[in-house]
Amino acid sequence: MIDIHSHILPGIDDGAKTEDDSLKMAREAVKQGITSIIATPHHRNGKYDNDRASIVRDVAILNELLEDADIPLTVLPGQETRINGEMIEDINSGDLLPLNESKYIFVEFPSGHVPRYSSQMLFDLQVAGYKPIIVHPERNRELMEHPSKMYDFVKNGALTQVTAASVVGKFGKNIQKFSQQLIEANLTHFIASDAHNTTTRGFCMDDAFRLIKNEFGSDYYFMFLENSQLLVDNMNVNFVEPSRVKKKKKFLGLF
């Protein structure tokens, strides 16, 4: 299993605080069946800035620590960038870091709203040759209130990543319901942990994938597993056609 979203690098954002914390997270990831994990520290969110060069350096250091500790986990470089008007310039300057140096790039919205320029920025990223992935949309208040906006983003080429903890109800029943509606409506393409530690913000990947297989079937289960591998390999991801169109339209408020 591959986890494409984590805060496992020590001391650079609100994730692991120390190298020991990182090793604890790594051991827990392995217990969950994770073999590779993308480190995606926060960037440009008003509190943390972690550019490409520093992330690549810290990933290399952590991989050496994992090898020394005999932990069978590979950490790959990535970044969770808060949407902002300078993303294209930061790509060109080498400040932004796509996931594992691929064509896929994380885009984070503020938790309470979707900036008005979001559609244009998602379009500009695609014109520049990248596939934007909107992270944890299920926790965005505006998208919860207006899911048709989510549909428009996906229809226009954006991808999305739902958090495993959301799927299993760790953020409350409303977010769990919305997460599962996004899966059912075929409006998300990846499940990832967004793990910050081993206590309050853990991985939950094993539980989430078990629930998805039981509730939505093997097609979705294998699609999410394979999509993470395809992302790491810089290949095009898979989609599952919605099976209940009327329910999808009702959820989106389209009639």
Domain boundaries, position 151: 2-252
Share of the chain above pLDDT 70, in %: 94
The per-residue pLDDT for range 135-172, each reduced to its tens digit, is: 999 999 999 999 999 999 999 999 999 999 999 999 99
What sign does the dihedral 162-164-168-174 (CA atoms) show? negative
| Separation of alpha carbons 79 and 63, rounded Å | 17
The CATH number given to whatever domain includes residue 161 is: 3.20.20.140
Q: What global pTM score does this model have?
A: 0.94
Phi, psi for residue 107 in degrees, rounded to 5: -130, 120
Q: Token pair for residue 3? A: 């986890």
The per-residue pLDDT for range 19-57, each reduced to its tens digit, is: 999 999 999 999 999 999 999 999 999 999 999 999 999
Among the residue ranges 28-42, 95-109, 119-133, 235-249, the one predicted with the least confidence is 235-249
Residue 239 pLDDT grade (very low, low, confident, very high; cuts 50, 70, 90): confident
Number of structural domains the chain divides into: 1
